[in-house]
Amino acid sequence: MRVAIVPCLKDNFAYLVIEGGVAAVVDPGEAEPVLAAVAREGVRLAAVWATHHHMDHVGGLPGLLAAHPGLEVLAGERDAGKIEGVTRALADGDEFELAGVRGRVLHNPGHTLGAITFVIDGRAFTGDTLFGGGCGRVFEGDPAMMHASLERLAALPPATEVYFGHEYTAANLRFAAAVEPDNADVARRVREIPTPSTPSTIELERATNPFLRSHVPAVIAAAGARGAAADGASVFGAIRAWKNDFK
């Protein structure tokens, strides 16, 4: 299995997940770059995997469905009614497959109530739940819900590759350095950001992403300075609120 990165819109990532000559596209924010990538890779597009319902992740669906009638369209069961053409609504733990390779879905409510991560062949497609060095805003859930979702992702095997929805990594790491100014791993990652910065790994995120580090004394202290209690959800909520206004 291999993954082709497909930049979309201003700073979005879609992904072609390819097994043999068959592909699924994750989060097609627009159709044209995806269609060009399908032609370039010489594959048959069979499926769309939508991590959540926001238009910058599914806005390309009408064009893809017009160009490739009969596509399988997978989405989380809470978001499926908000996404055009869904053929299968997925619950937490449901399995899916691409050309015989099986994966499973993690329900990650917080950014949206139906947000999901597609986990397949050592890769996690996290949409706007987990970013490189950061996480999505909490739009439809609450901090405790988002914290629990991120903890589930942090528990994936360390070598799991993380394919996220936006190129926000540089800005996220500036914030991470403000939260943990003495974190050598963050400083090193700032110096070594690749272009594009996707994929990351769970191991790297656990070492450098403040939203996966609510248990770390320095992050607890930074949150405490903003009035948070020491429990994980409170720490996360304080750090997320700080990031919302961080320049």
Catalytic-residue membership of 27: no
Residue of 53, 54, 68, 147 marked active site:
54
pLDDT in tens, 156-209: 999 999 999 999 999 999 999 999 999 999 999 999 999 999 999 999 999 999
Q: How far apart are CA 111 and CA 104, in angstroms?
A: 20
Alpha carbon 225 to its chain centroid, in Å, reads 29
- Say which DSSP state 165 is in: S
Residues of the chain with pLDDT under 70: none
Scanning the structure block, which residue is given the tokens 């995806």? 34
pLDDT score at 88: 98
166 catalytic residue (yes or no): yes
Structure pTM? 0.97
What confidence score (pLDDT) does residue 247 get? 82
DSSP 177-222: HHH-TT-HHHHHHHHT--SS---EEHHHHHHH-GGG-TTSHHHHHH
Q: Which CATH number fits domain 2-244: 3.30.750.24, 3.90.1150.10, 3.60.15.10, 3.20.20.100?
A: 3.60.15.10
Annotated catalytic, 128? yes
- Predicted local confidence at residue 144, as pLDDT: 96
147 catalytic residue (yes or no): no
Query: Catalytic: 56?
Result: yes
Q: Pairing between strand 130-131 and 101-107?
A: unpaired
Catalytic annotation present for 245: no
Cα Rg of the chain, angstroms: 18
| Whether the Cβ atoms of residue 96 and residue 102 lie closer than 8 Å to each other | yes
